[in-house]
A and B are shown apart, each in its own frame.
Chain A
Amino acid sequence: MNIAVCIKQTPDTTTRVKIADNGKSIMEEGISWIVNPYDEYAIEEALQLTEKHGGEVTIISLGPAGIEKTIREALAMGAHKAIRIHADNIPADPAVTAKALAETLKSGGYDLIFMGRQAVDDDHGQMPALISQALNLPGVSMVVKLTIEGNKGTALREIEGGHEKVSFNLPAVIGANRHLNVPRYRSLKGIMQAKKIPIEVKQAPLTAEKLLLEKMEYPPAKQSGKIFATGVEAVPEVVRLLREEAKVI
């Protein structure tokens, strides 16, 4: 099987995000960068499939040269090849990224294209749908279970209050959700091997952004609440406040 996994470099989820002086982006110094956590489920699923059916996993990521460190972290899980699509910055409009990714994916002859459910920085959750639509391929987002037999696939997709069972033909686009698998740890051997894999750099002209980020703000600081240190004795008062002040019960 020939599988592509699109990954995004994101800040570690414990990062204290600071807004930059331009008020439109975050300060990048001091951030430790990771492979978007959902993309690790995507990589793991791709690796398991090639271990079973043979084939190769190609990591694809769009961004500046600095993301190559993260691409190597993805490779260290056991992927075979990597492509970086050059962009000076990762676009704020996911549709722009989607067009550039689709251009590269189109010519790769992939049986499956994996992505994460959403990137934990922008939180768009658009890419699997955008790519599936752009390539006119079957696409399933929010996938928690995947079965591939021959050129047919079945996926379990999370919805509110349940799951949908969806079938489709390959090639297809899959958005990986938590619970799809347990991503493996990077072995020392994997890390060493990843260093030797060349990262192919492609140029892709980026279209103009249509989703414009005009301003970033911190959420309003919460007024400090009422904290009762008296334990059980505080309960009647809290329940009364929930009824009379907050009016929620």
Chain B
Amino acid sequence: MSTILVATEIRQGELKSINLEVFTAAVKIAKEINLTTTALLSGKNAASLAEIPAKYGIEHTVVVEDAKLEKYSPDCYAAAIAEVARQKDAKVILMGATYTGKDLMSRAAQILDTALAQDCTAYRAEGGALRFTRPMYAGKVRAEVRVASAPVMATFRAKTFKPEENPVAAKVEKLQLNLPEPLTVLEAIETAAAGKLDVSEADLIVSGGRGMKDPNTPEGKENWANLEKLAELIGAATGCSRPVSDDGWRSHDEHIGQTGKTVSPMLYISCAMSGAIQHLAGMSSSKCIVAINKDPEAPIFKAADYGIVGDIAQVLPAMIEEVKKLKARD
């Protein structure tokens, strides 16, 4: 029987949550359009993760370990996806829309001469055909698209699905493939400060704008310290608007928006940002948005579920106190 193939991304020996989200999506879709499910794990140590897909309901797991996959290279990894898709008669190929996922799936689509629906936030199965929803124009419109060739390929934006455990017996198979010589060489991976959660992977985000003030001033220093304290208390990642990272107040990897990262966390607390359209483009799909701004006319309030009109210098400390009280009662 034909299958849905889920291509995975292994980072530092781990299958990050986005892979589990896509497993869950694949299991749901497979039921609706009557296909089996297969996960592909490629690269060094892939075998050590082979039991995980079955925990999320994936029936078959293919492990490809090859000297050419020792280090990540997009062309070689894409060739592996395409080859496994051919061998396993994949009708649908899915992957998480990380930066790497988007790149790899475009390449695999080129090899397989099919099309890719990129960065989707929903799907619909109707009469055996899949349709995908993808935000365009930085989320100002949503398009429904269909891939009119085989296999159907799509990447899903992080946090589109919640991983659901659904254990089945693991059927693991090791495949030897004939892979091309990698064209690029991965020399090193530089990671952000240890333990720092990236905004694109976070369930909760506390984010600051220019109204937080320059952290080199006493007022700004206090505000940003409070923002970090609140983030730590609730286990959130910290983000910022573009001018904040442009001015070097915060590091570039925190920049959210049209030209930065796109996030859709459970909770986004926006502190002293105006809510410019280019910023909203990166965070308006958050499930719950709290806005704090001293200007009641600030556009961010239009996007917010809860808004507090007030000075950040007073509101943040008050929030910290309230959350502490709440946590003390837990």
Contacts and interface: CB of A to CB of B under 8 A. Distances in A.
Interface in B305-330: 305-311, 314-315, 318-319, 322-323, 326
A210 B148 CA distance: 5
A214 B147 CA distance: 10
B183 A248 contact: no
A124 B118 contact: yes
Interface of B is mostly: mixed
Interface in A80-110: 93-95, 98
Interface in A45-67: none
Interface stretch (B52-60, B83-91, B164-172, B197-205): B197-205
A230 B287 CA distance: 24
Contacts of B315: 231-232, 235
B145 A213 contact: yes
Interface string B184-207: 111111111000111011001000
Contact of A167 (B110, B184, B197, B301): B184
A217 B304 contact: no
A113 B195 CA distance: 37
Interface stretch (A1-9, A13-21, A71-79, A196-204): A13-21
B161 interface: no
Contacts of A166: 184-187
B11 to A, nearest CB: 8
Interface in A194-249: 209-219, 222, 224-232, 234-236, 238-239, 241-243, 246, 248-249
Contacts of A140: 74, 184
Interface stretch (B21-29, B38-46, B136-144): B136-144
A133 interface: yes
A146 interface: no
Contact of B98 (A26, A93, A160, A246): A160
A166 B73 CA distance: 9
A134 B110 CA distance: 7
Interface in A108-151: 120-130, 132-134, 136-142
B75 interface: yes
Interface residues of B, number: 92
Contacts of A238: 290, 306, 308, 319
Interface of A is mostly: mixed
B185 to A, nearest CB: 5
A207 B36 CA distance: 32
Contact of B323 (A16, A120, A133, A249): A249
B107 interface: yes
Closest 8 CB pairs of A and B: A231-B310, A129-B106, A161-B198, A210-B115, A211-B115, A162-B191, A227-B307, A126-B106
Interface of A: 11, 13-17, 19, 26, 37-38, 93-95, 98, 120-130, 132-134, 136-142, 154, 156-168, 178-179, 209-219, 222, 224-232, 234-236, 238-239, 241-243, 246, 248-249
24 contacts: A38-B259, A123-B135, A125-B102, A125-B106, A126-B118, A133-B75, A133-B78, A139-B74, A160-B11, A164-B189, A209-B115, A210-B149, A212-B147, A216-B136, A216-B143, A227-B308, A228-B308, A229-B309, A230-B309, A235-B319, A246-B267, A246-B305, A248-B267, A249-B267
